[in-house]
Amino acid sequence: MQKDHFHYRGQRYEIIDRVVLGRKKYLITRQLAARIRKRFLAFDPIGGPKGTLRILQFMPRSQETWKRIGVLQQLSGSNPELPQILEFHRRGDEIAIVQPWIEGRDLTWWIKQMQKKGRQRIGTPEALRMFRSLAHALHRFHRRCNIVHADIKPANIIVSTEARRMTLIDFGSAWQVEQTALRDEGDGQSRNYAAPEILAGSKRVDFRADYFSLAVVCFEVLALQLPYDGLGGAAGHFADSDESESLYIPPSKLSLDADKIPKSAWRSIDNLLETALQLDPDDRFADPKAWLGAWNEAASHSRDTPKLGPVNKWVIRCLDWLSRGQGK
């Protein structure tokens, strides 16, 4: 009689299905996504001394899917911010992709924890460092493959436990820039995170759509709310009026770290996000070099120590005088 569960690292997992790929049997324990593409958390009993968790993703068997697999195989080895593909198999009219399970939490979890003002949080300097690395990996994906991710959102970004880096997952929505008009219905339709041109069904979509979505996520991590008064990309409905501009507040005015890093650093961060979050793609960064330069500048300045004002300097001098006086 087959077991209905398995144990891994001290935890019990229920088995909801079994899948054989090649000569391996995978134990499905949770469905992670449905709709156009299906993603599952599964256990590989022979993936290590005591087995290991994997991600199984099933995508339509098409030329586009083969292209996506080839792209990620080329890039993931030298870019830990992108998901690896361990193996893939033809399975009827689908292609099954096996990927490693990344130990960590997605940004949706982190944002909820920070909104609760719990101990688990990502400070501004660390967030900028991780987003900068992710931006560079995304640029390499754009440049070498001419493909847009199109579904960047907190649920698709994992903060790994060990390396403290962000990994972008779920490339099922990715499509060739010149084929944006042919993308599947529902791809890249995360209303608050998708760029306005995607939500509007525009045929003129390019890498600047990913610039926008990554900026929305970064803004939310820093400010703990979405830009444009919670609308994010949906604010594009007001793109032909002045109403959308009045909704935007820079993250420096909202962040809990507003007084913990220098004003010069906030100027770099505000300029980066304000430009990347323009509702009209023509008003965003004109080329990748400018976009990456803005990320580099913001990440670098965020590590600076804030300068003390006159009052704080006076307080420190008084405390120093008192401490020396008590020591006599």
CATH number of domain containing 249:
1.10.510.10
Top-confidence residue, 218 or 160 = 218
Residue 306 lies in a domain: no
Residue 209 has pLDDT above 90, yes or no: yes
Amino acid at 199: L
Domain count, the chain: 2
The three-class DSSP label of residue 228 is: coil
pLDDT of residue 281: 94
Query: 131 is in which domain, residue-wise?
Result: 104-301
Residue 326 lies in a domain: no
Give dist(CA 301, CA 268) in Å, integer. Answer: 7
pLDDT of residue 63: 82
Residue 32 lies in a domain: yes
pLDDT of residue 243: 67
**Is residue 61 within 8 Å of 40, Cβ to Cβ?**
no
pLDDT of residue 150: 83
At residue 225 the predicted structure's pLDDT band, cuts being 50, 70 and 90, is very high
Q: What is the CATH number of the domain that holds 47?
A: 3.30.200.20
Residue 320 has pLDDT above 60, yes or no: no
Residue 179 has pLDDT above 60, yes or no: no
Q: Which of 62-71, 83-92, 303-312 has the lowest mean pLDDT?
A: 303-312
Give dist(CA 143, CA 140) in Å, integer. Answer: 5
Q: Are residues 226 and 188 in the same domain?
A: yes
At residue 186 the predicted structure's pLDDT band, cuts being 50, 70 and 90, is very low
End-to-end CA separation in angstroms for the chain: 80
Give dist(CA 87, CA 96) in Å, integer. Answer: 8
Q: Which of 22-31, 166-175, 200-209 has the lowest mean pLDDT?
A: 166-175
At residue 69 the predicted structure's pLDDT band, cuts being 50, 70 and 90, is confident
Return the percent helix, strand and coil in the chain, to nearest 5: 40, 20, 40
pLDDT of residue 181: 35
Residue 93 has pLDDT above 80, yes or no: yes
Q: Are residues 250 and 149 in the same domain?
A: yes
Residue 313 lies in a domain: no
DSSP string, 94-147: EEEEEEEPPPEEEHHHHHHHHHTT-S----HHHHHHHHHHHHHHHHHHHHHH-E
Share of the chain above pLDDT 90, in %: 50
Residue 247 has pLDDT above 90, yes or no: no
